[in-house]
């Protein structure tokens, strides 16, 4: 049902988390718990890279911006609150990764 449109899924003991485009969630009657924007780090961040994500999330925390990070094989992806997306993008760009 969501395999083609899901950006990511994660199964936990408490249930299934779906990261979906908002339109797709609404189409299926799913509540949108964390409306956000996606920022994908352009740097190739292999899974054994040390400290890159910590540096980025610390800078966002210092700016008062919540972030949910997902690391994939080639890149790290940041989900930030919709209303803070432009500021978050500025913070990430300032890091010059």
Give the domain ranges of the chain: 1-33, 34-97
Residue 52: pLDDT band (50, 70, 90) is confident
Q: What is the pTM of this model?
A: 0.84
SS3 state at 39: strand
Q: Can you spell out the DSSP letters for 49-88?
A: --SHHHHHHHHHHHTT---EEEE-SS-EEEEEEGGGHHHH
CATH 3.40.50.1000 matches 34-97: no
pLDDT digits (tens, 9 = 90+) for 74-92: 889 999 999 999 999 999 9
């Amino acid at each position: 049902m969501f395999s083609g449109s899901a950006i990511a899924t994660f199964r936990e003991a408490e249930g299934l988390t779906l990261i979906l485009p908002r339109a797709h969630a609404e189409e299926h009657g799913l509540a949108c718990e964390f409306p956000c924007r996606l920022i994908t780090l352009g740097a190739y961040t292999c899974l054994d890279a040390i400290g890159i994500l910590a540096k980025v999330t610390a800078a966002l925390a210092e700016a008062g911006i919540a972030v949910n990070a997902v690391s994939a094989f080639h890149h790290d992806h940041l989900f930030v609150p919709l209303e803070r997306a432009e500021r978050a993008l500025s913070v990430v760009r300032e890091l010059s990764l």
